Structure 1
Amino acid sequence: GCNGPRPYGVGKIPTFYKGMIEQQFAYERLTVEAWFEGSYAKALQALTLNRTIIDAKKARKVLDALIEANREYWPELK
């Protein structure tokens, strides 16, 4: 509206969907924390939570490739 966003009630969210929402939120929060803290461990945790990455070993490979491809834009992750 003209006074900004208004909350919209959706009622009780089923457990399955609530779990998916919380997992996505955790992935996004860890990604932001990894960036600001320069934390490789948090970036790896974030990618491991991402539903498109199946396991931690693959997440590590993806993360290392992302770091290499974006070295000039990202902070050094320790």
Structure 2
Amino acid sequence: MNAVVLESVLTCPHCGFARRETMPTDACRFFYECSSCKTLLRPRPGDCCVFCSFGSVKCPPVQQQLRCCE
């Protein structure tokens, strides 16, 4: 089994700003404010969190092929 990656680079779809963030292992992150343009990001339909929608790495539960937060 592969090790779970806990860091992901979130990229704002509005301004393109990217920032490395540590993902929580015990909760989904539904909202994220871009530190550059201040846009409040929400997951895309069908995704469980902002990391699955805008991150370079999916959230830990998805990496482990587990059910994510609902």
What TM-score do the two structures reach when normalised by structure 2? Answer: 0.29
Name whichever structure is richer in helix by fraction: 1
The structure with more radius of gyration: 1
Name which structure has the greater RCO, CA cutoff 8 Å, separation 6+: 2
